[in-house]
Amino acid sequence: MSSVATETVTLNQRSRKKPAVTTNLTAIDTFGNVFKAPDYTISSILSAIPKHCFERKWYLGLYYVFRDIFWCVVFGYLSKTYIPLVSNYYVRGLLWAIYTNIIGCFYVGLWILAHECGHRAFSDYEWLDSTVGWILHSYLYVPFFSWKFSHRKHHKYTGNLHKDMVFVPKTKEKFLEKHEVSHLKELTEETPIVTLYNLVIQQVIGFQLYLVSDVTGQPYPGVSKWKVNHYNPNSPVFDKKDYWFIVLSDIGIISQSIIVYLWGKNYGVWSVVIDWFIPYMLVHHWIVFLTYLQHTDPTMPHYDNDEWNFARGAAATIDREFGFIGQHIFHDIIETHVLHHYCSRIPFYNAREATVEIKKVMGEHYRHSDENMWISLWKTSRYCQFVENDKGINMYRNVNGLGPKPIDD
């Protein structure tokens, strides 16, 4: 059976497990505009994609892996050879900063290729996908199989307020509980400095917090958040059958820790800091940055379980533009993310062509923004503080006086 046929059968079987959702469902989005929930089927989306877009070429996947590694080596050689020759302290520091950012971008590219492996979009061979993904993610301190299993659930339930796994927004009730008040009128506007502080924390250590405590994920009543982590084989995030894969993920992290230790011992701490640690921190910043903006927007809905289905959930994502870096170094993960949620097994090098076709089916429901992503980050953090239910659709609201006022009951 072809990839597209397998994907269609699987998704159709999944959609039959729950009753049909309400059609012609509308709500008011965070800008005050009417939002219409999609009513098309997942089959109509998948059938619109040319069959060759589902083809995965192992040699092309490996080409991009070695291409990214090649450029890391080239820039590493150039930096070690020429930056120390610069006499001015400040210019030399600036050049090292530029170098770490360049390497960080290529490390993001490697992270995304490992992400392709986790979705089985890298090749037709599971052993190859698992091997490449485990090596690349372990190098970047990401537990490959642990992330793969939790990320799979995110894709399975994207946009479902009660089952999604990433950047699940707070309901108004949880937002009030967090701020220890009973009514919104008791809260004042969040100042820009507070917004900035929250963004810095999110961007600097957000991904690490997600791995160790499932921050922004679903709550597990009665379970300490520190037990809900990606390193614990007994975490409620995983199924029992996943146990030894989680252990293997941990072995990858331990192995990389040994490599970093030996790296520092033989080549010095400075080499570790400049070639690995700072780029590693930048990778995790970029992943949080991209993921947050792919799944958070003032026009973006989250559905109650009764009004959610796979087609609606996958449409609750947005494509953005990040120029040359997005297309050529981040492997189009930003520009074709909507398609990625409809069919995660399509390799990134076929995603643009497939996106053109699904847009014809999605029509007005396809979201795309070419706004500067840093502006979008600030705007989204000010607009999107919690969600409020409207007939099974949960739209973002805030206490900053932006958009429609939330109901204060």
- Angle in degrees, 0-180, between the axes of helices 192-213 and 373-383, rounded to the nearest 10: 90
- Which residues are CB-contacts of 127 (< 8 A; sequence separation ≥ 6)? none
Residue 409 within any structural domain of the chain: no
Strands 368-369 and 319-320: parallel
Query: CB-based burial of residue 237 (10 Å sphere; 0-12 exposed, 13-18 middle, 19+ buried)?
Result: buried
Residue 134 within any structural domain of the chain: yes
Output the pLDDT for position 222: 86
- Which residues are CB-contacts of 400 (< 8 A; sequence separation ≥ 6)? 189, 190, 382, 383, 385
- Angle in degrees, 0-180, between the axes of helices 89-118 and 126-139, rounded to the nearest 10: 150
The answer to whether the beta carbons of residues 142 and 151 sit under 8 Å apart is: no
Element (H, E) at 394: strand 393-397
The answer to whether the beta carbons of residues 21 and 309 sit under 8 Å apart is: yes
Output the pLDDT for position 408: 80
Render each residue's pLDDT in the chain as its tens digit; 409 residues: 455 555 555 555 555 566 789 999 999 999 999 999 999 999 999 999 999 999 999 999 999 999 999 999 999 999 999 999 999 999 999 999 999 999 999 999 999 999 999 999 999 999 999 999 999 999 999 999 999 999 999 999 999 999 999 999 999 999 999 999 999 989 998 999 999 999 999 999 999 999 998 888 888 888 888 889 999 999 999 999 999 999 999 999 999 999 999 999 999 999 999 999 999 999 999 999 999 999 999 999 999 999 999 999 999 999 999 999 999 999 999 999 999 999 999 999 999 999 999 999 999 999 999 999 999 999 999 999 999 999 999 999 999 999 999 988 6
| 135, two tokens | 């090596």
How many distinct structural domains can be found in the chain?
Answer: 1
Residue 149 within any structural domain of the chain: yes
Output the pLDDT for position 215: 87
The helix/strand/coil state of 27 is strand
Its sign, for the CA torsion 73, 78, 81, 83, is negative
Element (H, E) at 113: helix 89-118
Residue 408 within any structural domain of the chain: no
Which residue's structure tokens are 């975490």?
Answer: 235
Q: How many residues does the chain have?
A: 409
Output the pLDDT for position 80: 96
Overall pTM surpassing 0.85 (yes/no):
yes
Residue 405 within any structural domain of the chain: no
The answer to whether the beta carbons of residues 32 and 403 sit under 8 Å apart is: yes
Q: Which domain holds residue 256?
A: 3-18+25-397
Q: CA 192 to CA 174: how far, in whole Å?
A: 22
Output the pLDDT for position 217: 87
Q: CA 138 to CA 143: how far, in whole Å?
A: 6
Output the pLDDT for position 12: 54
Residue 116 within any structural domain of the chain: yes
Detail the DSSP E strand segments found in 263-317: 302-303
Output the pLDDT for position 378: 97
* DSSP at 83: G
Among residues 295, 300, 364, the alpha carbon closest in space to that of 154 is found at 295
The helix/strand/coil state of 395 is strand
Torsion over CA of 297, 299, 300 and 306, rounded to 10 degrees? 160
Strands 34-36 and 302-303: unpaired
Strands ordered across the beta sheet of 302-303: 302-303, 393-397, 386-390
Q: CA 339 to CA 46: how far, in whole Å?
A: 10
Q: CA 385 to CA 399: how far, in whole Å?
A: 8
Q: CA 23 to CA 38: how far, in whole Å?
A: 8
